[in-house]
Amino acid sequence: MIKQLVFAAILLLTLLILGYSFYRIYRFFKLTRPAFNIKNHGQRFNQLMTVAFGQSKIFRWPFTGLMHALVFWGFLVITIGSLEMVIDGLAGTHRALGLLGPVYNVIIGSGDVFAAIVLIAILIFLARRLVMNIRRFKGVELKKQSKLDAILALTLIFLLMVSLLGMNMAYVGLYENKAWFEGVYPVSNWLNGLFLCNLSGNQLHLLHEVSWWAHILLIFIFANVLPYSKHFHVFTSLPNVYLSRLTPVGKMNTMEDVKTEVEMMMNPESAQEPPTEELPGFGIHDAEHITWKNYLDSLSCTQCGRCTSVCPANQTGKKLSPRKIMVDTRARMKERGPQLLKEGKEANDGKMLINSFVTEEELWACTTCNACVIECPININQPELILEMRRYLVLEQAKAPGELSTMLTNIENNGAPWQYSPEDRMKWSEELYMNA
Ligand code: SF4
Ligand code: SF4
């Protein structure tokens, strides 16, 4: 009974802290602009199954892709075992989901195998980060904190798998011959025979208790670290894939207000009524102008760098890194959000997302090829933010690179990108007629 009370108190504390962290992020979401109405649920579900659960994009990198996919699938299965631990902790039961019979054997058996696979994968990931010199893990946007985050998360997952296997090994050693023994443990059975065969019943019991508590406490700690680390994608990546764009890659969002203005200019009779309210301003220049989807994208970014590694601008030495755009957006909201909540829209810290975080040079380096979107394993839309920031520069600040400014002026004056009046457009052909 004491164990149950202690467990219930720790669980309550965990949920309260986690609830606070989510509430804090929810308030930041409330500062953002609307994005789109969520519909086409069938299509979205297919996208979720293929890209998220099927991990379809990650396999473009065969070895690390497979490792990541195995870790993801392993987590899904192991989470069911963690839920069982919560039930056992509260109810004082032993392997409460054992009543599922053969289904339980499949879940627990595959969880046991996945624990070993995840353990090996994490060791490989740690070696790649600490020993190997991998370009994808470098970049100005990857601050020391981000690197520490990655090491901390990998270490926590490593310890989670060690404690899970420790618990399973001790369980097998203690209760294998009892009538109420539940589940199958292919890996732990084997490891138990290798390492624990000489332990007494008391020692096995101690190992089981220590591993059980270590595992569940690590889960609670990990869950509460996530909202403050780059690994928040553990919570957000599935919803992010579900809510990702369904329109073709590269399709730009129409600026309805501008469209109405142009329609009025081109064809005053067919145009709709112009908006009577004052226009809200064009594009994005700070955290409060992004949409909720832009913010969800930034929270979901795993900082894996796959986007940057295929970005033609980055690969040809330009400053642009699509990963940096996502990292900067999240960082700016983390800084700007509390100011806005405290002081309202008038809050001014002398900084903006543009210039203080993302430079104009980075923005204009984008070719809008959308290779980053295609590569991103969780369907983040990086160019949308880039384009919206450019829209702010052009439409609000009249700032564009020289060649572009000339072209825009020509379009405005001549209806074409060239510096000739429309009346002179066919002059080039006159000589041809003369010589014909
Ligand atoms: S769309 Fe822009 S940011 Fe994305 S890969 Fe192409 S150039 Fe890079
Ligand atoms: S935007 Fe996507 S591909 Fe790029 S670092 Fe983030 S998760 Fe990886």
Q: Write the pLDDT tens digit of every residue in 128-155.
A: 888 888 888 888 888 888 888 889 999 9
Residue nearest to ligand 2 atom 6, measured at CA: 301
Of the options 1.25.40, 1.20.120, 3.40.50, 1.10.1060, the CATH number for the domain spanning 280-416:
1.10.1060
2-30+61-234, what's its fold? Answer: Fumarate Reductase Cytochrome B subunit (1.20.950)
pLDDT of res. 197: 78
Cα(170)–Cα(196) distance, integer angstroms: 8
Ligand nearest to the CA of 301: 2
Residue nearest to atom 2 of ligand 2 (CA): 376
Q: What is the mean pLDDT of the chain?
A: 89
Pick from 189-203, 208-222, 266-280: least confident = 266-280
| pLDDT over 60 (residue 46) | yes
Mutate to test the pocket of ligand 1, among 325, 368, 376, 381 (most ligand atoms within 8 A of CB): 368
Q: Give the mean model confidence (pLDDT) for residues 290-307.
A: 94
The confidence band for 164, taking pLDDT boundaries of 50, 70 and 90, is very high
Report how far residue 140's alpha carbon sits from residue 303's, in angstroms, rounded to the nearest whole number: 12
Yes or no: say if 298 and 329 are a contact pair by the CB < 8 Å rule.
Answer: yes
Report which bound ligand comes closest to the CA of 142: 2
More confident residue, 108 or 422: 108
Q: Which ligand is nearest to the CA of 330?
A: 2
Residue 307 Cβ inside 6 Å of ligand 2? The answer reads yes
- Model confidence over 311-335: pLDDT tens digits? 999 999 999 999 999 999 999 999 9
CA of 36 to the centre of ligand 1 (A): 23
Please name the residue whose Cα sits nearest to atom 3 of ligand 2.
Answer: 376
CA nearest neighbour of 307 among 8, 2, 60: 60
Spans of all domains in the chain: 2-30+61-234, 280-416
| Residue 320 in contact with ligand 1 by CB distance below 6 A | yes
Per-residue confidence band for 258, with pLDDT thresholds at 50, 70 and 90:
confident
Angle between helices 382-391 and 292-300 (to 10 degrees): 130
pLDDT tens-digit profile of 90-130? Answer: 998 888 888 888 999 999 999 999 999 999 999 999 998 88
Token pair listed for 255: 């600026």
Indicate whether residue 374 lines ligand 1 (CB < 6 A): no
Query: What pLDDT score does 310 carry?
Result: 94
Residue for token digits 């600026």? 255
Q: How confident is residue 401, by pLDDT bands cut at 50, 70 and 90? A: confident
Q: In this model, does residue 276 exceed pLDDT 60?
A: no
Q: How confident is the model at residue 408 (pLDDT cuts 50, 70, 90)?
A: confident
Residue 431 pLDDT more than 90?
Answer: no
Q: Which carries the bigger pLDDT value, residue 37 or residue 374?
A: 374
Across residues 339-362, what is the average pLDDT? 91
pLDDT at 230: 85
pTM for the whole thing? 0.86
Centroid of ligand 1 to alpha carbon of 395 (angstroms): 22
Of 97-106, 250-259, 421-430, where does the model show the most confidence?
97-106
Residue 153 near ligand 2, beta carbon < 6 Å: no
User: What is the reported pLDDT for 417?
Assistant: 85
pLDDT of residue 270: 65
Residue 11 burial by CB count (10 A; 0-12/13-18/19+): exposed, middle or buried?
middle
> Would you state the pLDDT for residue 275?
58
Contact assessment for residue 260 and residue 274, using Cβ atoms and an 8 Å cutoff: yes
Same fold, 2-30+61-234 and 280-416: no
Query: How far is it, in rounded angstroms, from Cα 342 to Cα 421?
Result: 54
Ligand 2 near 376 CB (within 6 A): yes
Cβ 207 under 6 angstroms from ligand 1: no
As given in the structure block, the two tokens for residue 168 are 């399973």
Kindly report the protein residue whose alpha carbon is nearest to atom 2 of ligand 1: 366
DSSP for 4-20, written as a single string? HHHHHHHHHHHHHHHHH
Share of residues in the chain with pLDDT > 70 (%): 96
In the prediction, which pLDDT does 272 show? 62
Q: Which atom of ligand 1 lies closest to the CA of 383?
A: 1
- 94-98: long-range contacts at Cβ-Cβ below 8 A with a sequence spacing of 24 or more? 94/180, 94/182, 95/182, 95/183, 98/180, 98/182, 98/183
C-alpha–C-alpha distance, residues 236 and 302, integer Å = 10
Is the pLDDT score of 224 beyond 60?
A: yes
Cα separation of 183 and 95, whole Å?
A: 9
**CA 150 from centre of chain:** 14
The total of other beta-carbon atoms located within 10 Å of residue 294's CB is: 25
Return the minimum-mean-pLDDT range out of 7-16, 21-30, 90-99, 298-307.
Answer: 90-99
CB 315 within 8 A of CB 139: no
CA 323 / ligand 2 centre spacing (Å): 6
Report, as an integer, the average pLDDT of 210-220: 95
